[in-house]
Structure 1
Amino acid sequence: MTTPSTDSLSELSGALKGSWHRFLDVYEPLRPELYRYCRYLTRSPWDAEDLAQDTMARAFATLGRMVEGPPNPRAWLFRVASNLWIDQMRRSRERLGVDVEPAASQEPRATREAAGTLLVRLSPQERAAVVLKDVFELSLEEVAEALGTTPGTVKSALHRGRNKLVEPEPEMPAAQAVPAALDAFCEAFNAHDIDRLTALLLDTMTIEVVGATTEYGPESARARILPGMLFGSRVMANPDPQGPCGFDPSFFRGVRPTLPRAELRIHRGEALLLSWYEHEDGEAVRAITRLELDGDRVAHIRNYFYTPDFIADVCRELGVPFRSNGYRWWR
């Protein structure tokens, strides 16, 4: 078997990045509505952001296999998100060994469209139909397009969904004691000690700037992502329009070069790291970090920086001020 050359891989990577950037030029303006739709489906900021990211990736891959682009990009993006979410619900229920009840329709696609129920009240199809029609005010035809079905099936789903009890908000999990490793990470962050931070990382760890980049291993984290988390405010305070950092200066007016401070907060039962940045008119959160532990070491870091809808959602629930960094990690 022939191994691809380094030049071939670099050329492929460059071509994919160019195509991805052009894809986002068209679909990124729909990102706020996509997140809002995913939020209604999942009812969780974390799951909504994951679903929105997965939807964009799936849409990009699917578009590359289509003969013609979708005539209604908004409805099509909702359709990709709906299919992913319904599949997730079905797999989740199958893992739990819960019977999947089909909708009261004899159409061939009815079983998949109504795959599973959500808290025994709304099936995924019913929930998606109600959200698209009543929240996003799509026409029956647009809802049918977004769900890959017919207006008649949509009418049935709307009728069933609206006649069921309003689903209560899920109970928040009880807050657990903050592990010592998270306290240690927060202290090292606030000391801006990259050596201490690196020492807390598992050898097989993964670090993500969600939606932007992923690195593997402590040395890659130390070289490429941790410096931005610790010292990026200096660049934000004086962004170079011609520089390689990717910052859009319009998002960083009023930012001071003071290094950010981290604060551990409990949100929906989980300990999060809020990154506070100084501005001319006071402090505000510009990034949120989730850490997964393996024993007393950090196994996975997810840094939410270029996720404005998610940051706004979580910060509003916590009642703290926030600022947007936009979606782009390039200009």
Structure 2
Amino acid sequence: MSTPTKDLSNLGDGVKSSWQRFLDVFEPMRPELYRYCRYLTRSPWAAEDLAQDTLARAFVTLGTLFHEVPNPRGWLFRIASNLWMDRARRSRFEEVVTREPPEVSSARVDAREPREAAGTLFVQLSPQERAAVVLKDVFGLSLEEIADALSTTVGGVKAALHRGRGRLADPESSSARTVAPRVLDAFCEAFNARDLGRLTSLLLDNAVVEIVGVVTEYGTEAPADPRTGSFAGTLAPITFDERGGVPPELLEGYLVTSPRCSVQAYRDTHLLLFWYEHVDGLKVRTVMTVDVEGDAIVRVRNYFFTPDVIREVCEELQVPYRVNGYRYWPARH
């Protein structure tokens, strides 16, 4: 007789397989989806959250459709737009907008994409106005495509564009650097000492650890699992075999060694950077964000398989980097 636990385990295997096939199909659209979300949210972390939520919603919705999706690109934009506007309406203030740190060199500002400057202007627009302006002026969608993406009429799009373009303004921004929590230093020390026990001891018992988009773990034991644990895997050299990993073409020049961790100020927060040895020097191949409660960690997000986030953060920090693709499973042919 089956049990709920066994049924869920069997169901989970099937869902993982379907989810991976779904991500394989939509992988070519991931950079553009991230770029759209980035314009809306003005934060790499919020942009990746919105992109991941969009993919998850699309995956669930696909299971309820009885007809083909005629325009997958427009469909993703529509889902992302609806998710973001719903959130913005619920919270009348936009927590997804991050402020620029002070004392940024002119060279660093020049190194940012034009999107960054444009995004600063978009902060002043309503959710629908911002989405309409981005879809029209950045992505070049037709009025009809925008109306479909925003679930409105062509007349509504024209009105939103008129209002949005008329209200664009450059807001003042300022912020103060925060002091890195001591637990981040403790995490780096434990990681660089290769002390898995010390790493997991920094977690609350109900902590959540993610490799964004591909792995979710709860508690202190799962991250330390030598077979599937995210902490155990990050401590080890990058590999690729029949089970997956990082494709060989993305590992060119990589020296098979374990990474080292460092704490890095970024805008108004702090990150963990993970440096991997290459023939031409150390390169960042992943970044982590850490949420803390007192001296304990409540959430870790590892962006190893989010090349868009790694690229943006490292280019803004002006540190050398390499990306790892969007998935760990082997390509299906």
Residue deviations 1:23-71 (CA, integer Å, cap 9, x gap): 2232221110000000000011111010000000001111111111320
Task: Quote the residue 1:231 is aligned against.
Answer: 236
Query: In the alignment, does 2:123 pair up with 1:124?
Result: no
Q: Which has the larger radius of gyration?
A: 1
Q: C-alpha separation between the residues in 1 aligned to 2:125 and 2:19?
A: 35
TM-score, normalised on structure 2?
Answer: 0.85
Q: C-alpha separation between the residues in 2 aligned to 1:130 and 1:300?
A: 35
- Cα pair distance change 1:124/1:27, threshold 3 Å: same
CA drift at 1:230:
1.1
Q: C-alpha separation between the residues in 2 aligned to 1:15 and 1:291?
A: 31
Q: C-alpha separation between the residues in 2 aligned to 1:22 and 1:179?
A: 39
CA drift at 1:176:
1.4
Partners of 2:246 and 2:325 within 8 A in 1: no
CA drift at 1:90:
0.8
Residue deviations 1:250-289 (CA, integer Å, cap 9, x gap): 2112111222111111112111100011111221111001
Q: C-alpha separation between the residues in 2 aligned to 1:50 and 1:268?
A: 18
Q: Which runs of 4+ in 1 moved over 6 A?
A: none
Task: Quote the residue 1:134 is aligned against.
Answer: 137
RMSD: 2.0
- Cα pair distance change 1:6/1:196, threshold 3 Å: closer
SS of the residue 1:149 aligns to: coil
Q: C-alpha separation between the residues in 1 aligned to 2:318 and 2:94?
A: 36
Task: Quote the residue 2:291 is aligned against.
Answer: 292
TM-score, normalised on structure 1?
Answer: 0.86
Task: Quote the residue 2:148 is aligned against.
Answer: 145
Q: C-alpha separation between the residues in 1 aligned to 2:44 and 2:285?
A: 16
- Cα pair distance change 1:211/1:5, threshold 3 Å: same
Task: Quote the residue 1:278 is aligned against.
Answer: 277
Identity of aligned residues (%): 56
Say which of 199, 222, 226 aligns to 2:201.
199
Deviates more, 1:152-161 or 1:125-134: 152-161
Query: In the alignment, does 2:174 pair up with 1:175?
Result: no
Q: C-alpha separation between the residues in 2 aligned to 1:14 and 1:201?
A: 27
Task: Quote the residue 2:13 is aligned against.
Answer: 14
Provide structure 2 residue ranges, at least 5 long, that are not aligned to the other structure: 96-121
CA drift at 1:231:
1.2
- Cα pair distance change 1:190/1:171, threshold 3 Å: farther
- Cα pair distance change 1:214/1:172, threshold 3 Å: farther
Q: C-alpha separation between the residues in 1 aligned to 2:311 and 2:157?
A: 32
Larger relative contact order (C-alpha < 8 A, sep ≥ 6)? 2
Q: What count of residue pairs does the alignment treat as equivalent? A: 301
